[in-house]
Structure 1
Amino acid sequence: MTTRNMPLTISSSIKSLPSFLIWALAEGKTVTTLTAIRDLMYDTFEVKRVLVVAPLRVARDTWPEEIRKWDHLKDLTCSVVVGSAAERRRALQKQADIYIVNRENLVWLYEHCKLSFDMVVLDELSSFKNHQSKRFKAMKAMRPKVKRIVGLTGTPTGNGLMDLWAEFRLLDMGERLGRFISQYRNLYFKPDRYNGQIVYSYKPLPGAADAIYHQISDITVSMKARDYLKMPELVSVTKEVHLSDEERKRYDELKKSLVLELPGGEVTAANAASLTLKLCQIASGAIYTDDMGIVSIHDRKLDALEDLVESANGKPVLVAYWFKHDKERIQKRMKARELKSSKDFTNWNEGKIPVALIHPASAGHGLNLQSGGSILIWFTLTWSLELYQQTVARLWRQGQTDQTVVVQHIVAKGTIDERILKVLEHKDGTQAALIDAVKADLAMTDSGKEGIL
């Protein structure tokens, strides 16, 4: 396999800048970055040892697979630092060009690894958006010794522009958006929701978005697959289900009084966040009681799922679920296999799994599932735009052989499901503006910053 269709200008930009961010969904970020690493190691000899930090399954499966898949990367060697502490130590003792660790073990790596890395790749950078997290603090401590760093993400601002500070603090150590989060807030935001001295949320000041885009544009590039690749058509469909009068009564009772008496136990929503989760559960058909029992409310979504699977006419279907009881109820209704292990993903891509289950939080980033099917059904929606888009991108990506990818949403009419869809659309609009502001133009070159706007 060759690199003929790769965005080589972006690869050149990675090589020319000490810190760099690529925003792209299903665009070949991994192979582009590996190409730059290969050139830096074996052509210009600027890099000796690289650390890649990625979600577990991406670290374990995707990065090694990409190295094996491309002919021009055959000289690269890698060691995957996952598993038990003993397995991780053995992986670090191996001689390799690239060491790949899952992000959950980054703190362990920082505390126990004696190797030095002159280049770091953070794949998925948006998982470092919380500046109070242990992984952020570990990477921040490692950063001054790293000469070159690259961030990869398809969803830079899933929850708004406030997410950007931590991401760029790791990339440029505070040069563009400030060394401290307080500086960033004071310069670009104002309190939105607050009670006395306690501020619950912030909103951008007039003109702040454009100012932020300008500050980060010299080390940032975004690419949309549809602009550079022949992508299949993406069709989004909503299948509505309707609650009965009794089911609607239970939904409204919990929403109004925060307490619901059921034959299988009592359900109490302690606050707004808890209420949101409980309403999502009722909309999907089952709910956890206060003592963690499970009470079935309805089978509306299960019936709809069964209809959608049947209408697929034998084509493999990928079903996204959120709650554990979703998975259990689906598997009780039909033969469905959860994708968790490397074997599961391989079998799916080989077309051996008619109905597969996937949880967005554990398998939303970086997995190549496009060979297994082109139909995604959302049994339960997620509030997270990042997880939503990343899950869709498992099928709607380069290498998808079907001409159309269908994303179906099972939505309970008149419930919180409808609100979640609207929130996702709003967040997508905010993120799209940012991505467009730093969009790659491969026909343009700026001196010393090939192809970067």
Structure 2
Amino acid sequence: MKFVPHAYQQYAINYIKSHPITALLLDMGLGKTVTTLTAIRDLMYDTFEVKRVLVVAPLRVARDTWPEEIRKWDHLKNMTCSVVVGTAAERRRALQKQADIYIVNRENLVWLYEHCKLSFDMVVLDELSSFKNHQSKRFKAMKAMRPKVKRIVGLTGTPTGNGLMDLWAEFRLLDMGERLGRFISQYRSLYFKPDRYNGQIVYSYKPLPGAADVIYHQVSDITVSMKARDYLKMPKLVSVIKEVYLSDEERKRYNGMKKSLVLELPGGEVTAANAASLTLKLCQIASGAIYTDDKGVVTIHDRKLDALEDLVESANGKPVLVAYWFKHDKERIQKRMKVRELKSSKDFADWNEGKIPVALIHPASAGHGLNLQRGGSILIWFTMTWSLELYQQTVARLWRQGQTDQTVVVQHIVAKGTIDERILKVLEHKDGTQAALIDAVRADLKMTNV
């Protein structure tokens, strides 16, 4: 297929080529993979600045999306890639192959650092936000590899899914601490103050007045951000809430759990050790089932299952993608109706070919990088997630460039008067911080000539 870049894509390609360090904050659906690959091709074959590239991505994106994009476009047909996933033996064989680009899933980055003798002069971190935890092994491995890398590109559409504190680790890998400091303690003391604490222990921080603007300015010289709605004719996104109502007995159980942190059920006792655990338990009750202390599952109600059945029926045969969170959600849905979980490359291909009427997807395992827009335009959230990043990324599997329907419908099944409503509000609140970052460093194509 012939690649004719949009103006914003050509701008991003030129930016990567002219900036050894690039944070490319492209909204979901703007084609960041082909954009980055085109820049790599030019650097490799036209200017000879790059010889070997490492791409680090989520598993399914590493295994499916990057190789598929290389095969898809005519101008990339001479590029070779080796996908470093699978067993240790398979990964070793992949590293022994001669290739321009080596693609590894982020879970195996530590293994790669410890076992790979190849040197890479360019690294692409697909979903830069997955490196936001500075204490993670993957962050430490990449930090150790970084000084030997001449060029680095960080790709994401959700840089601050949980607030500005996420940015330090992401940019620490990109510029080795030049803009936001080499140490997290530096960053915290300069831009934040304690928010919630108990004695000497600080549980959370909040930005100091004016800190956000300073942070955005600090990273603006290596950052490009673009929103899909500014550059593409996107389908209309319709968000709908489908409310379900608990019975008096179910409400009594929910409130009892909330107040006492202990719930007595015929199938066993459920306890919540702390606020985080309680949150999960309340989410489970809202969804209709809960795990007991002995790992059993007790069904509380079928309200959401009934609502899901109604929504699938009202789709009138159009394919429906259902997002779930807990394992018992999936099992209960599978018992109620014929569904197929999207996990393998074959599953994704069949969905895009319209062969799956009702598909299940877990945001944590399939939220990034997958192109599912050809298979349908209806997404139903059976269970909500607290993660803004996973929420937006999952929605963007359907609401993106290449969607043939004029409208993408996102249905949220919400148990009235439960934590479900709070989750939706939290997601809306978190978007403010992220939108501010995107807007602060948005590329001005009319005024910038690179």
TM-score (norm 1): 0.95
Task: Kindly indicate whether the alpha-carbon contact (under 8 Å) linking 1:23 and 1:156 is maintained by their aligned counterparts in 2.
Answer: no
Which residue of 1 is the match for residue 16 of structure 2? Answer: 14
Which has the larger displacement, 409-418 or 424-433? Answer: 424-433
- C-alpha displacement at 1:23, in angstroms? 3.6
- C-alpha displacement at 1:226, in angstroms? 1.2
Task: Kindly indicate whether the alpha-carbon contact (under 8 Å) linking 2:25 and 2:159 is maintained by their aligned counterparts in 1.
Answer: no
Which residue of 2 is the match for residue 67 of structure 1? Answer: 70
Instruction: Give me the whole-angstrom Cα distance separating, in 2, the residues matched to 1:22 and 1:106.
Output: 22
**3-state secondary structure, aligned to 2:186:** helix
1:388-445: CA deviations, max 9, x gaps?
Answer: 0000000001111100000000000000000000000000111111110011111122
Instruction: Give me the whole-angstrom Cα distance separating, in 2, the residues matched to 1:213 and 1:47.
Output: 29
Which has the larger displacement, 239-248 or 223-232? Answer: 223-232
- C-alpha displacement at 1:57, in angstroms? 0.1
- C-alpha displacement at 1:71, in angstroms? 1.2
Instruction: Give me the whole-angstrom Cα distance separating, in 2, the residues matched to 1:75 and 1:220.
Output: 29
1:174-228: CA deviations, max 9, x gaps?
Answer: 0000000011000000011111111110000000000000000010111111111
Task: Kindly indicate whether the alpha-carbon contact (under 8 Å) linking 2:133 and 2:139 is maintained by their aligned counterparts in 1.
Answer: yes
- C-alpha displacement at 1:278, in angstroms? 0.4
* Structure 1: gaps of 5 or more residues: 1-10, 446-452
**3-state secondary structure, aligned to 1:319:** strand
- C-alpha displacement at 1:25, in angstroms? 1.8
Instruction: Give me the whole-angstrom Cα distance separating, in 2, the residues matched to 1:442 and 1:408.
Output: 35
Which residue of 2 is the match for residue 283 of structure 1? Answer: 286
**3-state secondary structure, aligned to 2:374:** coil
Task: Kindly indicate whether the alpha-carbon contact (under 8 Å) linking 1:240 and 1:411 is maintained by their aligned counterparts in 2.
Answer: yes
1:220-255: CA deviations, max 9, x gaps?
Answer: 111111111111000000000000000000000010
**3-state secondary structure, aligned to 1:347:** helix
- C-alpha displacement at 1:72, in angstroms? 1.2
Task: Kindly indicate whether the alpha-carbon contact (under 8 Å) linking 2:28 and 2:228 is maintained by their aligned counterparts in 1.
Answer: yes
Task: Kindly indicate whether the alpha-carbon contact (under 8 Å) linking 2:238 and 2:409 is maintained by their aligned counterparts in 1.
Answer: yes
Which residue of 2 is the match for residue 326 of structure 1? Answer: 329
1:5-58: CA deviations, max 9, x gaps?
Answer: xxxxxx100011114433422211101000100000011010000000000000
Instruction: Give me the whole-angstrom Cα distance separating, in 2, the residues matched to 1:23 and 1:112.
Output: 32
Instruction: Give me the whole-angstrom Cα distance separating, in 2, the residues matched to 1:122 and 1:430.
Output: 22
Task: Kindly indicate whether the alpha-carbon contact (under 8 Å) linking 2:195 and 2:205 is maintained by their aligned counterparts in 1.
Answer: yes
Instruction: Give me the whole-angstrom Cα distance separating, in 2, the residues matched to 1:346 and 1:71.
Output: 21
Which has the larger displacement, 39-48 or 17-26? Answer: 17-26
**3-state secondary structure, aligned to 1:274:** helix
1:319-377: CA deviations, max 9, x gaps?
Answer: 00000000000000000100001110011001000000000000000000001000000
Instruction: Give me the whole-angstrom Cα distance separating, in 2, the residues matched to 1:389 and 1:246.
Output: 35
**3-state secondary structure, aligned to 1:371:** coil
- C-alpha displacement at 1:101, in angstroms? 0.2
Which has the larger displacement, 285-294 or 23-32? Answer: 23-32
- C-alpha displacement at 1:104, in angstroms? 0.2
Task: Kindly indicate whether the alpha-carbon contact (under 8 Å) linking 1:380 and 1:410 is maintained by their aligned counterparts in 2.
Answer: yes
Task: Kindly indicate whether the alpha-carbon contact (under 8 Å) linking 1:385 and 1:424 is maintained by their aligned counterparts in 2.
Answer: yes
Identical-residue share of aligned pairs (%): 92
Instruction: Give me the whole-angstrom Cα distance separating, in 2, the residues matched to 1:15 and 1:393.
Output: 27
Instruction: Give me the whole-angstrom Cα distance separating, in 2, the residues matched to 1:418 and 1:22.
Output: 29
Which residue of 2 is the match for residue 222 of structure 1? Answer: 225
Instruction: Give me the whole-angstrom Cα distance separating, in 2, the residues matched to 1:145 and 1:225.
Output: 34
After TM superposition, the runs of 4+ consecutive aligned structure 1 residues lying more than 3 A away are none
Instruction: Give me the whole-angstrom Cα distance separating, in 1, the residues matched to 2:24 and 2:339.
Output: 38
Report 1:113-132 matches (<5 A): 113-132=116-135
Report 1:35-434 matches (<5 A): 35-434=38-437
**3-state secondary structure, aligned to 2:421:** helix
- C-alpha displacement at 1:74, in angstroms? 1.0
Task: Kindly indicate whether the alpha-carbon contact (under 8 Å) linking 2:53 and 2:120 is maintained by their aligned counterparts in 1.
Answer: yes
Task: Kindly indicate whether the alpha-carbon contact (under 8 Å) linking 1:237 and 1:408 is maintained by their aligned counterparts in 2.
Answer: yes
Instruction: Give me the whole-angstrom Cα distance separating, in 2, the residues matched to 1:321 and 1:21.
Output: 30
- C-alpha displacement at 1:107, in angstroms? 0.2
Which has the larger displacement, 30-39 or 12-21? Answer: 12-21
**3-state secondary structure, aligned to 1:443:** coil
Which has the larger displacement, 231-240 or 22-31? Answer: 22-31
Task: Kindly indicate whether the alpha-carbon contact (under 8 Å) linking 1:349 and 1:370 is maintained by their aligned counterparts in 2.
Answer: yes
Instruction: Give me the whole-angstrom Cα distance separating, in 2, the residues matched to 1:25 and 1:182.
Output: 32
Task: Kindly indicate whether the alpha-carbon contact (under 8 Å) linking 1:369 and 1:394 is maintained by their aligned counterparts in 2.
Answer: yes
Instruction: Give me the whole-angstrom Cα distance separating, in 2, the residues matched to 1:298 and 1:112.
Output: 50
Task: Kindly indicate whether the alpha-carbon contact (under 8 Å) linking 1:379 and 1:409 is maintained by their aligned counterparts in 2.
Answer: yes
Question: How many residues get paired?
Answer: 436
Task: Kindly indicate whether the alpha-carbon contact (under 8 Å) linking 1:260 and 1:266 is maintained by their aligned counterparts in 2.
Answer: yes
Instruction: Give me the whole-angstrom Cα distance separating, in 2, the residues matched to 1:147 and 1:21.
Output: 17
Instruction: Give me the whole-angstrom Cα distance separating, in 2, the residues matched to 1:20 and 1:375.
Output: 31
**3-state secondary structure, aligned to 1:298:** coil
Task: Kindly indicate whether the alpha-carbon contact (under 8 Å) linking 2:387 and 2:427 is maintained by their aligned counterparts in 1.
Answer: yes
Instruction: Give me the whole-angstrom Cα distance separating, in 2, the residues matched to 1:20 and 1:156.
Output: 10
**3-state secondary structure, aligned to 2:197:** strand
Instruction: Give me the whole-angstrom Cα distance separating, in 1, the residues matched to 2:88 and 2:155.
Output: 27
- C-alpha displacement at 1:310, in angstroms? 0.3
Task: Kindly indicate whether the alpha-carbon contact (under 8 Å) linking 2:25 and 2:158 is maintained by their aligned counterparts in 1.
Answer: no
- C-alpha displacement at 1:91, in angstroms? 0.5
Task: Kindly indicate whether the alpha-carbon contact (under 8 Å) linking 1:23 and 1:435 is maintained by their aligned counterparts in 2.
Answer: no
Task: Kindly indicate whether the alpha-carbon contact (under 8 Å) linking 1:285 and 1:297 is maintained by their aligned counterparts in 2.
Answer: yes
Task: Kindly indicate whether the alpha-carbon contact (under 8 Å) linking 2:143 and 2:173 is maintained by their aligned counterparts in 1.
Answer: yes
Instruction: Give me the whole-angstrom Cα distance separating, in 2, the residues matched to 1:132 and 1:310.
Output: 46
Instruction: Give me the whole-angstrom Cα distance separating, in 2, the residues matched to 1:229 and 1:73.
Output: 23
